[in-house]
């Protein structure tokens, strides 16, 4: 099956194909999952090199579990999020703290200098405000609004109900809005329409 056609298969279908010897399925899974894992690990650890190590380790565990994967037992993305969370926790315990220094971020070459600086400031302000949220609210808001996951998947990852996820996100966003509104003028709060 060509790469493009495989792009429509579920994570689980691709994993089963990989276990059956399909190397292309692994490439599709990697392209789909590695960015999310790296983003999650980077948010937790703050150091690019550490986040890359965790990403590689998490994907290796996925490759190894493939022959034993029971279809329908769990979502692959849910399983991976928990693996990444545990790997990050282990690393944080070993290093005793998280480096909050800026990570090298991709820069939009089409954006002007001022716009890029303002986007950098907004991203940093949001990161700092998220860090002040209770852990569960922060996780729910990040999974929804940065990773773009749907509430049912977030509920599975966080091992809770959908209503609880909605409540966590609502409370988290209220707190973020109040926190960031104090820097409205500095951060150019709107999208420039005002």
The span from the CA of 47 to the CA of 44, in Å, is 9
* Residues between 125 and 164 that touch other proteins (CB under 8 A): 125-127, 145-146, 148
Q: Give the torsion sign (CA, 63, 68, 72, 75).
A: negative
Residue 182 contacts other proteins per CB under 8 A = no
The one segment of 3-11, 83-91, 151-159, 183-191 that binds other proteins by CB under 8 A: 183-191
Q: Name which of 21 and 159 has its Cβ closer to other proteins.
A: 21
Q: Name which of 8 and 191 has its Cβ closer to other proteins.
A: 191
**Site size for other proteins (CB under 8 A):** 50
Q: Name which of 48 and 75 has its Cβ closer to other proteins.
A: 48
Residue 98 contacts other proteins per CB under 8 A = no
Shortest Cβ 83–other proteins spacing (Å): 14
The span from the CA of 38 to the CA of 32, in Å, is 11
Q: Name which of 74 and 180 has its Cβ closer to other proteins.
A: 180
Shortest Cβ 12–other proteins spacing (Å): 16
If 0-12 CB within 10 Å is exposed, 13-18 middle and 19+ buried, where does residue 30 land?
Answer: middle
The span from the CA of 48 to the CA of 69, in Å, is 30
114 Cα distance to chain centroid: 27
93 Cα distance to chain centroid: 20
Cα angle 17, 23, 25 (rounded to 5 degrees) comes to: 50
Taking phi over 0 as left and psi of -120 to 50 as alpha, with beta for the rest, 99 belongs to: beta
Instruction: Please report, as ranges, the residues that interact with other proteins according to CB under 8 A.
Output: 18-19, 21, 23, 26-27, 30-31, 34-35, 38-39, 42, 48, 51-52, 55-56, 59-60, 63-64, 66-67, 103-106, 108, 119-120, 122-123, 125-127, 145-146, 148, 173-174, 176-178, 180-181, 187, 189-191
């Amino acid at each position: 099956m060509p790469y493009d056609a495989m792009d429509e298969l579920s994570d689980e279908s691709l994993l089963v194909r990989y276990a059956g010897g399909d190397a292309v399925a692994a490439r599709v899974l990697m392209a789909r999952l590695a960015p999310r894992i790296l983003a999650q690990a980077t948010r937790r650890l703050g150091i690019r090199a550490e986040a890359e190590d965790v990403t590689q380790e998490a994907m290796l565990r996925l490759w190894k579990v493939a022959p034993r994967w029971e279809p329908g037992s769990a979502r692959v993305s849910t399983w991976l999020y928990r693996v990444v969370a545990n790997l990050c926790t282990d690393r944080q315990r070993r290093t005793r703290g998280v480096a909050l220094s800026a990570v090298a971020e991709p820069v939009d070459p089409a954006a002007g200098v001022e716009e890029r600086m303002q986007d950098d400031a907004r991203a940093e302000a949001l990161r700092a405000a998220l860090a002040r949220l209770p852990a569960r609210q922060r996780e729910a808001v990040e999974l929804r609004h940065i990773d773009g996951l749907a509430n049912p998947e977030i509920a599975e990852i966080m091992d809770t109900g959908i209503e609880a996820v909605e409540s966590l996100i609502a409370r988290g966003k209220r707190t973020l809005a109040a926190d960031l509104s104090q820097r409205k003028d500095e951060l150019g709060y709107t999208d420039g329409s005002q």
